[in-house]
């Protein structure tokens, strides 16, 4: 039996436990882990261990805070893979609760949590955890497949801010790194890049031309054979006004530099916005103001500022995966022949022989005000995959009936 847990609240023993925690922290860690195990053991007889890594950037010698964030990141990844959605993990240190409670909003339960390994460098804390997770009874079918995502070139809203360091190429290098990380560390997306030219997204976005953004997303999806389109805007990479090393009078002044980025993902079949998130960070800019910095170099990415951008990218991956996991995987029908179809999803996206899809007629409509809305007519036909290649799959109707009015560019969907 599985339980669908909407909210878990674990309360510590405030008085006696706090005293014991000060005297015997390792003992209390063991007791609390046993408590977690016993609390959740009755929920299910079927569970699975997930081992994940979390990493955090050390800022101003804040090793403990970075360790906390690394454990939190690893736990969120483990829960996400196990079918959970974490709303908050307030503080977990040494595998136990250092605050009075930990709040997890999840569709899975944790039987036990172990810290396997910790490594420290001058810049990072990396923590490996192992979590025993009971998966939710029924995950969304779409989580089985990787969605195709087109990543477009980011738009630097204030070009003059790149003058210091001459980091004008950040708009392309940033998206290359995001694409690489999503393909290799993410779970649900297969990315493609369109970085040669900037799109008109920012122009439309700044002037609130929502309909033009929809049309742009649909056009790009059609041209690149992708399901979702990612746009982004680098909103601020300016230097702060205050010097952060004024006590080191013998050194050149060091200023914090901002890194603010807005992320948008649109559905390519109807142009609707499915995910939006803003990210704001800052870190010391340790290069001389007149020095030209190569944003492709390891020198840049190993610097304080490069590290904070890399940490922001890691957070993006977690957020994107969590929000895109259950978005529909919509395959476009590229060929129809009697009772057989070919769709543009293949083994690269996780499709297997025997998978079943429903068929949809895309039926977008325009209102009297000129706004476009998504619409679908659900066909009575279902098809089962009989053959899979890397980029496509062939399927036939489950009852061998002819497909009738199913046409090229209609959709095959598994919800």
What is the CATH number for 27? 3.30.1660.40
Q: What is the CATH number of the domain that holds 348?
A: 2.40.10.410
Q: Are residues 177 and 295 both part of a single domain?
A: yes
Q: Are residues 366 and 228 both part of a single domain?
A: no
Locate 62 and state its tokens. 């804040």
Residue 339 is assigned to a structural domain of this protein = yes
Q: Are residues 49 and 184 both part of a single domain?
A: no
Q: 202: Cβ–Cβ under 8 A, 6 or more apart, which residues?
A: 155, 157, 231, 233
Q: Are residues 239 and 377 both part of a single domain?
A: no
Q: Which of these three, 98, 118, 134, is where a domain ends?
A: 134
Write down how long the chain is.
Answer: 415
Q: Are residues 175 and 320 both part of a single domain?
A: yes
Range of the domain at 55: 8-134
- The pTM score is 0.66
Smallest CA-to-CA distance from 260 within 287, 276, 238, 227 is with: 238
Percent of the chain with pLDDT over 90: 39
Q: What is the CATH number of the domain that holds 205?
A: 3.40.50.10610
- How far, in Å, CA of 182 to CA of 220, rounded? 20
How many domains does the chain contain in total?
3
pLDDT at 91: 34
Q: Are residues 43 and 67 both part of a single domain?
A: yes
Q: What is the pLDDT of residues 3-49, one digit of tens each?
A: 222 222 323 333 444 444 454 444 444 444 444 444 433 333 455 67
- How far, in Å, CA of 106 to CA of 97, rounded? 18
pLDDT at 191: 94
pLDDT at 82: 57
Q: Which of these three, 324, 350, 371, is where a domain ends?
A: 324
Residue 1 is assigned to a structural domain of this protein = no
Number of Cβ within 10 Å of residue 233's Cβ equals: 20
Q: Which of these three, 292, 324, 356, is where a domain ends?
A: 324
Q: What is the largest CA-CA distance in the chain?
A: 82
pLDDT at 143: 66
pLDDT at 83: 53
pLDDT at 87: 41
Strands 255-267 and 376-388: unpaired
Successive 10-residue mean pLDDT values, the chain, 415 residues: 29 40 45 41 51 81 85 73 46 36 45 82 85 59 80 96 95 96 87 93 93 94 92 95 56 82 93 94 91 95 94 90 81 89 91 89 71 70 91 88 81 79
> Angle, to 10 degrees, between the axis of helix 25-40 and the axis of helix 16-23?
130
pLDDT at 102: 37
Q: What is the pLDDT of residues 132-172, one digit of tens each?
A: 766 554 456 666 788 899 999 999 999 999 999 999 999 99
């Amino acid at each position: 039996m599985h339980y669908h847990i909407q909210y878990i609240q674990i309360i510590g023993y405030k008085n006696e436990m706090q005293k014991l925690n000060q005297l015997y922290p390792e003992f209390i860690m063991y007791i609390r882990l046993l408590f977690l195990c016993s609390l959740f053991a009755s929920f299910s007889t079927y569970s699975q261990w997930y081992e994940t890594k979390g990493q955090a950037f050390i800022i101003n010698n804040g090793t403990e805070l970075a360790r906390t964030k690394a454990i939190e990141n690893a736990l969120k990844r483990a829960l996400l893979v196990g079918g959970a959605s974490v709303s908050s993990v307030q503080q977990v240190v040494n595998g136990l609760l250092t605050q009075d409670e930990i709040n997890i909003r999840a569709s899975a339960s944790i039987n036990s949590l172990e810290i396997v390994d910790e490594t420290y460098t001058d810049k990072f804390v990396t923590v490996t955890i192992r979590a025993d997770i009971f998966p939710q009874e029924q995950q969304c079918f779409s989580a089985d497949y990787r969605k195709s995502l087109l990543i477009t070139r980011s738009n630097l809203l204030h070009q003059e801010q790149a003058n210091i360091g001459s980091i004008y190429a950040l708009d392309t290098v940033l998206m290359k790194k995001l694409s690489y990380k999503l393909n290799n560390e993410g779970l649900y997306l297969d990315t493609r890049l369109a970085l040669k030219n900037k799109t008109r997204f920012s122009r439309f976005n700044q002037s609130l031309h929502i309909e033009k953004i929809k049309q742009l997303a649909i056009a790009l999806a059609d041209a690149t054979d992708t399901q979702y389109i990612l746009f982004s805007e680098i909103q601020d990479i300016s230097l702060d006004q205050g010097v952060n090393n004024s006590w080191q009078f013998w050194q050149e002044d060091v200023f914090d530099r901002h890194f603010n980025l807005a992320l948008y993902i649109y559905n390519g079949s109807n142009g609707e916005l499915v995910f939006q998130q803003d990210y704001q960070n800052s870190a010391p800019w340790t290069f001389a103001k007149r020095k030209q910095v190569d944003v492709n170099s390891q020198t840049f990415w190993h610097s304080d500022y490069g590290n904070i951008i890399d940490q922001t990218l890691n957070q993006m991956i977690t957020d994107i995966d969590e929000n895109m996991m259950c978005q529909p995987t919509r395959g476009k029908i590229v060929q129809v022949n009697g009772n057989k179809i070919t769709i543009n999803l293949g083994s690269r996206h996780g499709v297997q022989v025997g998978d079943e899809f429903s068929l949809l007629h895309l039926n977008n409509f325009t209102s009297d005000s000129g706004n476009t809305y998504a619409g679908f007519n659900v066909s009575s036909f279902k098809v089962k995959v009989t053959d899979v290649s890397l980029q496509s799959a062939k399927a036939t109707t489950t009852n061998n009936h002819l497909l009738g009015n199913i046409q090229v560019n209609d959709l095959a969907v598994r919800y």
